[in-house]
Structure 1
């Protein structure tokens, strides 16, 4: 059943500023019996009477998010095609089906969670647009395959940091004298997990690293090595193993980037939007 809020938005012509799902289920006539309990009828009019008070806030929040994201998408120059939205909706529905007991009716189970196909469709559009906005921030040229030699203080306080820094400086001197990278990793690194692979960290987006690391890696090409970098009380030396990711790796890097940054992009959209939800105000 379509909530009063959605019906009101449609009646006021909000389609001009908000793309609402086209498959909203219209409520039945007021006299329609929607349930019978011990011989007593519950009508559509009775259900409609409580919908606003019980569900208007949640529905309004969904619409607020939809408008915010639509505006952000227009500003960013991205759009969501019907096919893209339909594909994401299919994915959400498939995910929902997996959690249902055998023989369950999807629509009935969705209703129990205050959800419907039309609401999923609206959220599908939101997800597609936010993902496209986030994708604009992904820079393929920012990808580096990195290895490191890591040095952690072995005691508390400044003495521990100084000792770790001294070991890092010694490792740097060994590299400058031509000693093989792998040999220095094996004898000097405190990072046990990456030692067997020569300190390999894998492909990383440099822009997501701490500023002190990012600035040291800027401009380094394959085979380039940084000096000793201090970050969060530890020290490291980085080496660029490759600066040209293969296409398959680039696709994986992009998906990882999006999964890490979708929430950040949404938060930024929310922060920049001027929102006034008047439902919480008393007349």
Structure 2
């Protein structure tokens, strides 16, 4: 039985419509894949930038406990409280334990506390009265794998020389100070800005060439280092030559402090 002309026309139109639908579906799938590929590439391009910018907040957890000296050799009324607050900035879980006496029993109790692995000395206003026994304990504390951080000024530099046998020589160079990319690799200092501004005239640098073996400058300019770390047996001795007595560029210098503590 022959189909009528109208039926043949309907069949032809149906076949053409089906072909159009198949072609449209194929175009849609291809376009979706292309869109997904472009989105993936753009996301991959953005991700490293975000990681770099936020990496200093995404590193391994900050130390949970710190001992800090707050006795007669420092300015208790002003700097001690401010520095403790800056240590806990972005690290509110960190407990800062203060000690005020430097007698042998107190120093030994602090250094033998197995739960605390970082000791901070704020900027000293006078040379601390500490015995040879306490100095020996301090060296043993660092050598056992702990971190001792000194802040501030040339009294601290002299104290470090006397305790650890260094021969550090003080220096002064105007900032800014630059991250030493050769030395900061695989340390918390690598996440600092490439340039740290001078916050005040009370920055206290050390001649880079006077660093002991195992010492590495992290921030420096013109042969003067404002922040360095010294490998001391299994531990570390760090120095940040800033007095923390002004709010100017405070965020930058707080990050330097965090980097030293986190060594």
TM-score, with structure 2 as normaliser: 0.22
Q: Which protein is richer in helix relative to its size? A: 1
Q: Which protein is richer in strand relative to its size? A: 2
TM-score, with structure 1 as normaliser: 0.21
